[in-house]
Structure 1
Amino acid sequence: MTYSIAPARQTSWLIWRTATWRRVGADLAYILPGFFVSIASFTALVALFTLGLSTLVIWIGLPVLVACLATARWFASVNRSALRRWAGDIPPVHYRERQKYSIGGMFKNLADPQLWKDFIHGFLVSFPLRTATFCVTITVLAAALGGLTQWFWMRFLPEGNTSLAEIIGLDTYLGVSPVTAEYWLGLVYGAVLVLLLPFITHLLAVADAAVTRALLTNETAALRARSEELATSRAQVVSEEASTLRKIERDLHDGPQQRLIRLQMDVEAAQRQLGKNPEAARELMDGALEQSRAALTELRLLSRGIAPPLLADRGLRTAVESLAGKSPVPVAVTGSLAANVRIVESAENAAYFVVSEALANVAKHSGASQAAITVDANPTELLIEVTDDGCGGAHAGKGHGLAGLVDRLAGVDGSLEIISPAGGPTTLRTTIPLRG
């Protein structure tokens, strides 16, 4: 994704256009409050930094310096919010994970380079830059307004005042009185400044935004951290998948495979007994039938971890409706995702297993009398919500089925939110991005 320092480029800077004045208003709303934020940040950071540095020798300064950088981070978040309102999307920012407030932990917190960039911005850069920006902006606004209204307020000046037009000889050049020449001069430079106002305010805002973006965002570090997080989550998913496959292989060998072997032996024995001892053959066939039923039950249990052909053939909505139809608890399926509408395969698989595990929990543990599934999709994300009117208390603790869903969703950058107070109801809300 690309980010620009400024908002969408102006198609026209004509002063009589409404869009031009909206742009001027947005620039002023970014420039003027920023000056007061810079005063507050400069004052707070100067006090904390000097106090921390002067008392560092007796160790009191260490937590003070940590507090100084935490304050700088807070002011940086305020500045980033202002930049985001003005420019729209801005690059991400990454901070190292906060450590415990032990001696070693505080030293590690002080080693975060982004915190020091926040400090430099709030302590050394923003205050002088925004002071100059504020002064230029106020001067231009005052001069433009003063020039355009000079014909009104000049009459209140004391007599004998020497005007600028008279000093430069404009009255002599135009052959008019000094007062008239001053009126015309004010109107001219006021009109010129009004025409230049959009360019001046936008240039000052862009300069401030460029400095803020350079110091208060670190897209490379953020992307690197995100890449490491995704690599870790994907490695965990691969490990979980491998573990699941080994478990399925073991369960197939110890369960259905042994039962099918026993079934084959019983059928062969029944064939041998069929002619000479029909009663014994019937007993063997009854046993074989029982073995086949047990094998089918075990295969169904094992297949819970494998995506069904229905999902691959007809899509998520149809597969979810199939799960709802098989649930012992009545389930209503709603949402904007229509049948036979296909989305990213990995998202479909993850969403299917979320619904499958959620409905299994509803049936086994919730004591619910009814449940509902909402499946919504838009161009950027898939939203799944499963609710029931059961007893509540669901959580994603280790050893529970929902914990496996968290790991599975991590592989597709998805998130799982569980709202399940004691006494119910329970809501499982899943979000899976469909882009990137």
Structure 2
Amino acid sequence: MTGTAVPSPDASADGVAGPSPGRGGRAVPDPVRADPVRADPVRVGTGRPAQRRGVVARAGRDLRYLIGGLPLCVVAFVVAIAGFAAGVSTIVVWIGLPILLFTLRAARGLATVERRSTEAVLGRPLPPHHYREPTGRGLRRMLRSLAEPQSWRDLLHAVVGFPLRLTCFIVAVVWTAVALGSTLYVTWQWALPYDAEFSGFYGIVAGQASRLIDVAITTAGGIVLLLLLPVVLRVLVIARAAVARGLLTNQSAALRARTTQLAASRRAAVAAEAQTLRRLERDIHDGPQQRLVRLTMDLEAVTRRLDDDPDRARSLVAEALEQSREALTELRALSRGIAPPILADRGLGPALAAAAARCPVEVSLDVDLPADGRLPGEVENAAYFVVTESLTNVAKHSAASHCAVTVRLDGERVLVQVLDDGVGGAHLGKGHGLAGLADRLSAVDGMLDVDSPPGGPTVLTADIPLVGDEGE
């Protein structure tokens, strides 16, 4: 619903029947209401003609993969051998270090191309890989980059993969050429000399020349080779992909890195929860608790003056009622900061509309979500608190006159952007509110980015996955 106003919190649902929500809030067609007329072509398309087209299409992809890999493997082999030799031979004069770094970086880029092309031809992703991020500065960072094991595996793949990919290229090209040439032999055999010295395959075997029999045997052999071509190409693809899987992936290192990331996310979530509880305790102590203490004192005064000074008692009762109303208002505000009922009942769009209406700064809201507007609960909570915390910071610190909030679904992720025209200077430094917001997002595998130069504007962007990596 991009470009349309978000319904107000009091607006009612339209109740129109439609597709049922799937995972991540996306609409899934209702199978009960499927059109039976449209199902017939699908059944026809899954027969033998469609299977043959699928085999031919896959053979074409395999052939492109095997032939197109030759230029890449030549470049990778030359870069690997030349760069490694030049780097090692000049390392004593320190020139070799940047040469080796450049070589490893080039091998890493070529390995990325190989991974993507292999995943495309296989139709499924390869196991994960992981590069350790170098730390430090200067020489220390350079040495740690050289100590990255996956980069050396990429370099080894460039060397080891060269003869294999060259062999795959030769076999694929020769088999395809012979299969096509033999199958179409009848169309070009007339151009060949046919005498005692050249009498074709049949003449060599049987000792007598027969052009017709020779054409028939050659064509039959070509058809057999052509029928076997998809199998041969697939075997070559699997062989090349096996080398890529063995050298260009490091699942154990990727899992260790993921474990470390999850542990850090858990610590960040615990810290964010503790900070939220401390802030809640402080807000209750400074707000509703003080008003309830004042209410108790007023009621005690009423009981003492009810008989001898009824007028004063009535004024104290009025003050007590005002204190109770203000305490109730503050408790409602605190409850909205914990788990707003409108978010659970109505979804993210109406909840954000209510939050924008409460903000003292003018807010324009653009929410582009599925038709039912519902996302997984943890995603809605994270997106809601990103917006509400950002609006709170805008109202308190930015001196902005206008704020724009955008929420949209981008594939399997929710992107939240809050832009204001304030003074800028916001950052994710430890001890600031945005740092706690980043910790909250890390608990759901989300990321927070803040661009806030001095003088503004400030752009806060949150990237929240619909499903965490551990759940995929």
TM-score by length of 2: 0.76
The 1-side partners of 2:447 and 2:405 are apart by 19
Q: Is residue 321–residue 333 contact of structure 1 (8 Å, CA) maintained in 2? A: no
Shift of 1:50: 0.9
CA distance in 2, matches of 1:289, 1:63: 76
Show CA shifts across 1:41-61 (max 9, x none): 001110011111222233332
Residue 114 (str. 1) matches residue 146 (str. 2)? no
Alignment: residue pair count: 418
Pick aligned residue for 1:220 from 244, 252, 260: 252
Q: 1:280: how far off?
A: 4.8
CA distance in 1, matches of 2:202, 2:323: 114
Aligned pair partner of 1:18 in 32, 37, 53: 53
Q: Which runs of 5+ in 2 are unaligned?
A: 1-45
Q: Distance in 2 between matches of 1:322 and 1:16?
A: 54
Measured after TM superposition, the shift of residue 308 of structure 1 is: 2.4
Instruction: Say whether 1:397 aligns with 2:428.
Output: yes
**Match among 91, 116, 134 for residue 98 of structure 1:** 134
1:305 corresponds to 2:337: yes
Amino acid at match of 2:132: R
- Per the alignment, residue 209 of structure 1 pairs with 241
Partner of 1:5: none
Q: What's the CA shift for 1:204?
A: 0.6
8 Å contact kept, 1:416–1:429: yes
Letter in 2 for 1:33: G
What is the RMSD computed on CA atoms of the aligned residues?
3.5
Cα distance in 2 for partners of 1:222, 1:301 equals 43
Identity of aligned residues (%): 43
Q: State the Cα distance separating 1:410 from its structure 2 match.
A: 0.8
**Partner of residue 63 from structure 2, selected from 20, 28, 43:** 28
**Closer, same or farther: CA 102–429 of 1 in aligned 2, 3 Å:** closer
Displacement, 1:347? 2.5
Query: What is the rounded CA distance, in whole Å, between the counterparts of 1:201 and 1:28 in structure 2?
Result: 7
Shift of 1:244: 2.2
Matched-pair contact (CA < 8 Å) for 1:35–1:134: yes
Q: CA deviation at 1:163?
A: 4.0
- Higher mean Cα deviation, 405-414 or 281-290? 281-290
Cα distance, 1:273 vs structure 2: 2.5
Task: Indicate which of 107, 130, 135 corresponds to 1:72.
Answer: 107
1:312-354 alpha-carbon deviations (Å, 9 max, x no partner):
4554444334434444546556444466x76543223222212
- Using a 3 Å threshold, how does the CA distance of structure 1 residues 69 and 348 change in structure 2: closer, same or farther? same
The secondary structure found in structure 2 opposite 1:120 is helix
SS of residue paired to 2:238: helix
- The question of whether the paired residues in 2 share the 8 Å contact of 1:15 and 1:195 is answered with no
Contact 1:13–1:20 under 8 Å retained in 2: no
Shift in Å, 1:162: 2.6
Higher mean displacement: 324-333 or 15-24: 324-333
Q: Among 226, 243, 248, which residue is 1:194 paired with?
A: 226
Instruction: From the superposition, tell whether residues 232 and 347 of structure 1 become closer, same or farther in structure 2 (CA, over 3 Å).
Output: same
Q: Matches of 1:402 and 1:35 in 2, distance apart?
A: 50
Query: Which of 235, 256, 274 matches 1:242?
Result: 274
Aligned to 2:465: 432
Q: Distance in 2 between matches of 1:395 and 1:85?
A: 42
Q: TM (normalized to structure 1)? A: 0.82
CA distance in 2, matches of 1:416, 1:212: 34
Aligned-partner SS, 1:275? coil
Distance 1:366 1:180, change over 3 A: farther
Are the equivalent residues in 1 in contact too, given 2:386–2:462 (CA < 8 A)? no
SS of structure 1 residue aligned to 2:465: strand
From the superposition, tell whether residues 99 and 362 of structure 1 become closer, same or farther in structure 2 (CA, over 3 Å). Answer: closer
Structure 1, 356-365 or 78-87: larger mean CA deviation: 356-365
Change (3 A) 1:351 1:184: same
The separation in 2 between residues aligned to 1:285 and 1:15, in whole angstroms, is 84
For 1:269, the equivalent position in structure 2 comes to 301
Secondary structure, aligned partner of 1:397:
coil
Are the aligned partners of 2:387 and 2:405 in contact in 1 as well (CA < 8 Å)? no
Q: What are the equivalent positions in structure 2 for 1:112-151 lying under 5 Å apart? A: 112-123=148-159, 125-151=160-186
- Of 385, 390, 394 in structure 2, the residue corresponding to residue 358 of structure 1 is 390
Q: Distance in 1 between matches of 2:193 and 2:424?
A: 81
Q: CA deviation at 1:278?
A: 4.6
1:337–1:377: 8 Å Cα contact kept in structure 2?
A: no
In the alignment, structure 1 residue 412 sits paired with structure 2 residue 444: yes
Cα distance per residue 1:347-367 (max 9 Å; x no partner): 232222123223434555464
- In structure 2, the CA distance between the partners of 1:14 and 1:208, relative to structure 1 (3 Å rule), is farther
Which of 170, 181, 204 is equivalent to 1:168?
204
Alignment check: 8 A CA contact 2:367 2:407 kept: yes
Q: Which has the higher contact order (CA 8 A, sep 6+)?
A: 2
Distance 1:344 1:16 in 2: 39
Would you say the 8 A contact 1:362–1:390 is kept in 2?
no
Asked if the contact 2:154–2:248 (Cα under 8 Å) also holds between the matched residues in 1, the reply is: yes
Query: Which AA in structure 2 matches 1:86?
Result: V
Separation in 1 of the partners of 2:419 and 2:137?
42
Does the C-alpha gap of structure 1 residues 403 and 420 become closer, same or farther in structure 2, counting only changes over 3 Å?
same
- Match of residue 6 from structure 1: none
- Give the letter for the 2:302 counterpart: A
The residue number in structure 1 matching 2:32 is none
Return the alpha-carbon distance in structure 1 between the equivalents of residues 182 and 82 of structure 2: 42
Q: For each residue in 1:241-286, what CA deviation from the matched residue of structure 2 results, as whole angstroms up to 9, or x when unmatched?
A: 1122123224433443233223311321233133334565466556
What is the one-letter code of the residue matched to 1:112? E
Q: 1:34 to 1:189 in 2, by over 3 A?
A: same
- What is the letter of the counterpart of residue 99 of structure 1? T
Find the aligned partners of 2:117 and 2:158 in 1 and give their Cα distance: 14
